[in-house]
Amino acid sequence: YLWLPIRLAEGASVALEGRVTYTLADGKREAGYYFDGRINWFGSSREIRVVVAHGEDALLGTTLLRECLREIDFPSRSVKITR
């Protein structure tokens, strides 16, 4: 899934399909609204659930990151994802 803060999703013209609650990696449970969509992920079209919720962070579900290399540079506050 892709988790987006409301401020990032406001401009998209999508129909929210329902309400959902997820357990995040830190154990917190968060609620939001969702819609199903498609993204281009490294050249392949993928179906994905997009959750729109309060908060400031955009999050990627771990299923999308399977078979990817993730590099996190904490000093520069950057993340690089390659396949």
pLDDT along the chain (83 residues), means of 10: 83 81 87 89 92 86 90 94 94
Q: Is the pTM of this model over 0.85?
A: no
- In this prediction, residue 11 carries a pLDDT of 72
Residue 54 CA to residue 41 CA, distance in Å, equals 25
Residue 49 buriedness (CB in 10 A; 0-12 / 13-18 / 19+):
middle
CA atoms within a 13 Å half-sphere pointing along the CA-CB vector of 51: 20
Per-residue pLDDT at 55: 82
Pairing label, strands 59-60, 44-53: unpaired
